[in-house]
Amino acid sequence: MVQRTAEILASQNQLKSTLDAIRDPIFELGLDGRYYQCSANVDDLLFQPGGALIGKTVPEVLPEAAAQVVMDALRTANLEGHSQGREYALELARGVRWFELSVARKAVDGGCEPRFVAMSRDITERKTAEQEIRRLAFYDPLTELPNRRLLQDRLEHALTATARSHHQGALLLIDLDNFKALNDTVGHDKGDILLQQVARRLLSCVRECDTVARLGGDEFVVMIDDVGSTPADAIGHAQTVAEKIVTLLGQPYDIAGHEHRSSSSVGVALFGVDTGGTVEETFKRSDVAMYQAKAAGRNTLRFFDPAMQAAVEARAALEVDVRQGMANNEFQLHYQPQVGPGNRVIGAEALLRWTHPRHGAVPPGEFIPVAEQSGPILQLGQWVLETAFAQLAVWAADPSAAALTVAVNVSVHQFRQPDFVDQVLSALRGSGADAHRLKLELTESMFAFDLEDIIIKMAALKAQGVGFSLDDFGTGYSSLSYLKRLPLDQLKIDQSFVHDVLTDANDASIVRIIITLGHSLGLDVIAEGVETIGQRQFLSTHGCELCQGYLISRPLPIAAFNAFLQAHTAGQAPG
């Protein structure tokens, strides 16, 4: 009996030593949040020694917001057995720290009060990295205003909100008159000072709920979410703000002790239920109006004239041509090689191309948005999948190409179809292609929708061998909270970051962070838009060996791609 007691005590001491050695604080809690036990290393996490917690409750110990997170997790764990991924922040002596909470219900004897084991993991570094990615990707470093990427995101949400509320918004495009002359005469550093002062003046002209952004150079945008529910109210409100901007930006500036005068031209485009339009169309309308203000003598404002519908009419004509092109089999797939270490070709990205019978090659950036908004993207997308899968099957029979993978872009409209998984698997079976050689590329904007549904579909395809790549990473809804939940295989660095990686410190920082983040999550990282040897060397130096871009090859028709592959394999291809 004595020996048995000693063994139990030794086992308990060993368990306690193990728990104390775990870096993350561990607690035993009741359903009411009462502390029963805690590991030894909690003193720097809470506001009092760990031993003083016993008998107290979570709401008595933690601030209200953090306590609410813990109590909610306890209730979930009581119902489901566990709760993971909840986050909370604490302001400690060493600054604000972020923690991720995991709670599991302990097995107890019948009739006993449930007990829970809770572990708090310090994720401050991860949250800091996430915030840094967002700052570098979505804010202008000179003025600290939102940049084009963030503005487009907010405008997209505003378009949806105004259509639902039957109110209208306004987009004001502001261009500084003769700004180049200032840069050329007194230098770019003085020009930067002016841009910073312009940013502050614009912020003073709008409400806190409105957006002021810098597009680049001397172009700024003001987006007003709600300017009224009637055309008269909307025009009146937008005109008041635009006139205030023209007047305020026309006041003298103090540039390093010297007075400088400037002026601006403002183009105004309304958006909402009565005006319609997409993000791109709204930008175009404000741009047209701004150039009308320039033509009118500058230092003034102009509204978009609804009669200026040439671009809109051309878009409608393009929609008709897209449908006709599908019926006439005018679309084809090109394949852009993807290479790894030693320039070994590891696969290709399948890219949709269209040769119009009258206009020639139509850029994908023109016809794909039209197809997405008018409906044909579903049929086009299915054709792309079936064609790419058939090509995979052909390569499988060729020893020199059997190991290649193919990446296929998937539209958010395709992925949201209830039978998308069945469509993909059916097309794979019909082609005879190996699912393990397929990689579906998703964009971050997709995750603005039903994330749970997306994860379920991804998991179903993943179970059959299909891989996933997150395209254009860093330009959309970058969030580590969803990134860690998605069954991804690869991150793709957007070409907008790669393009200036050697000349823009912000882009270089973003690329390094993405590479480090991807590898820390066990993901491959591939860069697109690689055009120079210097870019390739930078990427390789920082751990990204996979790439595609014009340095390797342009997208090629299948015959040209196969020829490229043979020559490249034989060591005859450049790059």
Q: What is the DSSP string of 3-70?
A: HHHHHHHHHHHHHHHHHHHSSS-EEEEETT-BEEEE-GGGTTTSSS-GGGTTT-BHHHHS-HHHHHHH
37 and 140 inside one domain: no
pLDDT, one tens digit per residue, over 385-394 is 999 999 999 9
Kindly report the number of other CB atoms within 10 A of residue 387's CB atom.
19
Segments in 397-466 forming alpha helices (H): 412-415, 420-431, 451-462
Structural domain ending residue among the three candidates 286, 308, 330: 308
Which CATH number fits the domain that encloses residue 199? 3.30.70.270
Q: Are 64 and 43 in contact (CB under 8 A)?
A: no
Q: Which domain holds residue 303?
A: 132-308
Number of domains the chain is built from: 3
435 and 550 inside one domain: yes
162 and 281 inside one domain: yes
348 and 263 inside one domain: no
Which pTM does this prediction carry? 0.51
Which CATH number fits the domain that encloses residue 79? 3.30.450.20
Strands (E), 401-498: 405-409, 438-443, 467-473, 490-493
Structural domain ending residue among the three candidates 308, 328, 353: 308
Structural domain ending residue among the three candidates 122, 152, 175: 122
Amino acid identity for residue 336 in this structure: Q
pLDDT, one tens digit per residue, over 224-250 is 988 877 776 788 788 889 999 999 999
In a domain, 524, yes or no: yes
In a domain, 574, yes or no: no
Which CATH number fits the domain that encloses residue 563? 3.20.20.450
Kindly report the number of other CB atoms within 10 A of residue 26's CB atom.
18
**CA gap 361, 342 in Å, rounded:** 33
In a domain, 575, yes or no: no
95 and 213 inside one domain: no
166 and 239 inside one domain: yes
115 and 244 inside one domain: no
Q: What is the DSSP letter of 435?
A: G
Give the model's pLDDT for residue 413: 83
396 and 523 inside one domain: yes
Burial of 328 (0-12, 13-18, 19+ CB in 10 A): exposed
Take residue 17 and report the two structure tokens written for it.
Answer: 């030593």
453 and 473 inside one domain: yes
Ranges in the chain, pLDDT < 70: 1-23, 40-51, 109-111, 185, 232, 273-276, 305-316, 373-374, 448-449, 474-481, 570-575
In a domain, 147, yes or no: yes
535 and 409 inside one domain: yes
366 and 435 inside one domain: yes
In a domain, 295, yes or no: yes
**CA gap 106, 82 in Å, rounded:** 10
The counts of H helices and E strands in the chain are 20, 22
Q: Are 548 and 530 in contact (CB under 8 A)?
A: yes
Q: Strand 82-92 relative to strand 95-105: parallel, antiparallel, unpaired?
A: antiparallel
In a domain, 485, yes or no: yes
294 and 346 inside one domain: no
**CA gap 181, 201 in Å, rounded:** 21
**Cα atoms in the Cβ-side hemisphere of radius 13 Å centred on 277:** 26
Secondary structure, 3-state, 337-378: EEECHHHCEEEEEEEEEEEECCCEEECHHHHHHHHHHHCCHH
